[in-house]
Amino acid sequence: MEVKELIGTIELPDLGLFLPELIVLITAFVLFTLDLALSPARKRLLLPSISAIGYVSAFISLFLTGGMTGDTFYRTFTKDTLGTLIKIFEVLITIGVLAFANRYFRHRRSLYGEFYYMLAFTLLASMILVSSYNLIVIYVALEFVSIGFYILTALMRGSFIAKEGAYKYLILGGLSIALASYGAVFMYIYAGSIDLREILTYRGQDHHYLILGIVLFLIGFAIKIGAVPFHFWLPDAYQGAPTPITAFMASVGKMAFFVPVVRIMPLIGEKFSFAWMITVGVIAAVTMLYGNIVALVQKDIKRLLAYSSIAHSGYILAGVAVTETIGLKAVIYFLIAYGVMSAGAFLAVALLERSGGWENTIAEFSGLRFSAPYLAFSFMIFMFALLGVPPTVGFVGKTLVFMALSYDKLWWLALIIILSTAISTGYYVRLVVLMYMKDREKEVSVRERSYLETASLAVLTLLTILLAVFPSAIWELISPSAEILFQR
């Protein structure tokens, strides 16, 4: 009788809600096993193919289970519209990264079997991170994503810069996880729960623990997203990492790290809204200005895009400063927009690195339209999108953030966005001028460009335009998910 009662209390998980993650998990373990068992020659053939099959299957399953919502694994995993939408773009960008990785690593003589299963495990942790309100699961997923990035950053053979970037990321990444976990502890002390939804609805009298918990939680994730003054690891890690991995970190990583902050936004009640707006607003303003100003003097394209990434963290944080539903909608849209355009920009650079003698200097972009017209056009679209020129997804993203700020009357922060965008014109337009209005300094010839690479870059370029021309394609998913979060 006692055994039956015990069995009756066990809740069987609804694997339909976890199906995309389950597919990626199985893919990761299959890749890990094959890496141990196969010869190097067979690894080069099977590991990319199995990775592609797994990711495409997960991508399809996200659409097949798109209408399913709910909790499973004892409410530690939540499937909702927000998580599904972010995961669609996480998996899509990962497929694009995979298309570039094989030839890139072979060209750099750094193709390891570990890359494939570490990429799969990191993607899995990113998917879980955007689908949980449970503070322990968030902590474990955050740690898992971080460890994956540390390893992938250092994966370049014989590169001191890669090892240095990974080490700096490791030190500050460990600090960020510690601070986020301390924040979780104080939120638990306040509400007696590790579920953000229960913390959100708890009406305790002593708010000091809640405030301290939110501050530490926010600082922990601010380090991960590269907000000033917690950004020191980011330029070195982005420059040193293999460029397809940089694309993965800048897009999938940024989306994964921002979503827990998005989920905590409804915690900010009327009592804390002013302090939240000022604190997050100041961090956003400093991040925007610093990132764009420092990017102006960069001579390495990957460092330039790294400081651009810092500046865009500021733009997204400006939307986070708005404690209304419109701010949450703007943040979700901008996250997706930046994921697409940053991945495209870095993957275009990854192709250029396969040209003989390419050193990633800004001057090498002179006359690129003569040597590689297709790459020059795609890179121009991504630069205009990052700048915020219509009709690109970056323009819509910045416009939505600007509207959200005006709704909350944060005019000073809106003016800083305008000023920061004006400053960024100096380096984005400079690259376009070099490519289209200057004579070429060297012959650029991308070796063995595959159809998959061309198709992946074409898809990202088209998305950069189409998501701006038809914003309702994802807005109809963003709007209800944001409203549901605030209703809770």
pLDDT in tens, 379-423: 999 999 999 998 999 999 999 999 989 887 888 999 999 999 999
Q: Give the number of domains in the chain.
A: 1
Average pLDDT over residues 300-313: 94
Let me know if residue 420 belongs to a domain: yes
**Helix residue spans in 241-300 (DSSP H):** 243-248, 254-264, 273-295
Residue 153: inside a domain, yes or no? Answer: no
- Gap between the Cα atoms of 293 and 378, Å rounded: 25
**Token output for 162:** 């890669």
Q: What are phi and psi of 355, to 5 degrees?
A: -80, 140
Integer angstrom CA distances of residue 290 from 101, 226, 370, 383? 32, 12, 34, 19
Domain holding 325, by residue range, is 268-488
Contact of 43 with 81, CB cutoff 8 Å:
no
Residue 19: inside a domain: no
- Tell which residue, 147, 149, 343, has the closest CA to residue 241: 149
Residue 58 in domain: no
Residue 1 pLDDT: 41
Distance CA 257, CA 64 (A): 26
Query: What's the chain's average pLDDT?
Result: 88
DSSP string, 368-413: HHHH-HHHHHHHHHHHHHHHT-TTSHHHHHHHHHHHHHHHTT-HHH
CA distances from 169 to 229, 333, 351 (A): 14, 27, 25
Tokens 């949450």 appear where?
A: 328
Whether 72 is covered by a domain: the verdict is: no
Q: Is the pLDDT of residue 8 over 60?
A: no
What is the enclosing helix (H) or strand (E) of 352?
Answer: helix 325-352
3-class secondary structure, 148 = helix
Q: Is 276 within a domain?
A: yes
Q: Please determine, for residue 3, whether its predicted confidence score (pLDDT) is greater than 50.
A: no
Q: pLDDT tens, 77-116?
A: 988 888 899 999 999 999 999 999 888 888 888 778 889 9
pLDDT in tens, 356-380: 778 888 988 988 888 888 899 999 9
CA angle, 5 then 8 then 12, to 5°: 155
**Quick check: helix, strand or coil at residue 213?**
helix
Higher pLDDT, 193 or 202: 193
Sorting pLDDT into bands at 50, 70 and 90, what band is 29?
Answer: very high
pLDDT of residue 444: 74
Looking at residue 270, its pLDDT comes to 59
Alpha-carbon span 224 to 88, nearest angstrom:
22
Asked, for residue 303, whether it belongs to a domain, the answer is yes
407 CB contacts (<8 Å, ≥6 apart)?
A: 322, 324, 326, 327
In a domain, 67, yes or no: no
Radius of gyration of the chain (CA): 22
* Mean pLDDT calculated for residue range 324-343: 92
